[in-house]
Copies of this chain bind each other. A is one copy, B any other.
Amino acid sequence: MTDGTPVPRRRPTLDAVARAAGVSLKTASRVLNDEPNVAPETRAKVVAAAETLGFRRNAVAADLARGGTSRLVGFVTGDLANPFYSALAAGIERELSRHGRQLITASSDEDPERERSLTDALIERRVGALIITPTASDHSALRTEVAAGLPVVFIDRPAQGVDADTVVIDNRGGVRQAVRHLLAAGHRRIALLGDVAQLWTFRERAAAFVEVLEEAGIRDPARYVVAGAHETADAREALTDLLNRPDPPTAVLASNNKITVGALQVMADRRAAGLPELALVGFDDFAPAELLHVTVVNYDMVGMGRRAAELAISREKSQAELAPRLVVVPTELVVRGSGEVPPAAPAGLRGAGVA
């Protein structure tokens, strides 16, 4: 076979650089790693040789030689297209880059099976640490890895079956703020519209929700707790059903931003139909929430990612066995309104009360 294809020029190796500079392989390595004890002239020669050859060190080989662990951190998340997850990713990435580490992301699409295989792939890639928004219910498979010293951090919800660092939102606190706000405005029939009932975050929020209402002396506080509104459309439907009950709620707490949007749609329809207004508080702030005049439970998503990365790196750097740590990210109620259209409200009165 006559080799017709142009040979894909092999990259110059460190060896080639050393030869060109007239030094040994190891000396070249020293120069390129800024190790001490190299004469300035020698250093210059090597640098020049590397430059002219267009040398790029091979981080794969370097990692292997150093012990087989790469300076990569894996992030297994639900869906990168979701602003919540991508905000986490952004925070993680920012923190990592400060420590010379790179982020490798993988979306599980909330599928436990896929989460498992992605995690495996990342471990095979010998990531230095692993950050996971757990979807699977059991993570005991990771126990071996954690025991072997792999830093694993769970974010947004804790994992079961393994002790590891965890970063979560103060779900209960956030719910309490939201519900108290609605109670203070005089609401007594308050609904909670949630995502997936199995999700830890929802269970937390629902528990707090019921608790606060009970404290306020509301009877049958779980009466308007509904889960299963995974997409915006589901949320719409679920809320419509609630409102069609004989004794409908007057206020809603939406458990995430997709649901909030669904609720806002319903509210717009009601308004168009001349029906009474509904009060709304949403979990998760989102870009134009301000324009829509909706009160939300806000927290720092990017900061949350950053915290997770910090935990991962600190564990990776310290050899000692650290006890699992828990970081709870505080929430803050941003009072704006209930999602009513911002009609003629004088600017000064903005964000003052609920409907």
Contact = CB atoms under 8 A, between A and B. Distances in A.
Interface in A96-131: 97, 102-107, 118, 120-126
Q: How many copies of the shown chain assemble into the complex?
A: 2
B83 A272 contact: no
B271 A123 contact: no
B60 A89 contact: no
A39 interface: no
B93 A87 contact: no
Interface string A174-205: 00000000000000000000000000000000
A126 B344 contact: no
A81 B87 contact: yes
Contact of A80 (B6, B60, B90, B319): B90
Given A81-B87, A126-B60, A341 B341 contact: yes
Nearest to A148: B9
Contact of A107 (B94, B104, B291): B94
Contact of A341 (B120, B269, B342): B342
Interface of A: 5-6, 8-9, 11, 54, 56-61, 63-64, 68, 70, 72, 79-81, 83, 86-87, 89-91, 93-94, 97, 102-107, 118, 120-126, 144, 147-149, 257, 261, 264-265, 268-269, 271-272, 286-288, 290-292, 302, 319-321, 341-347
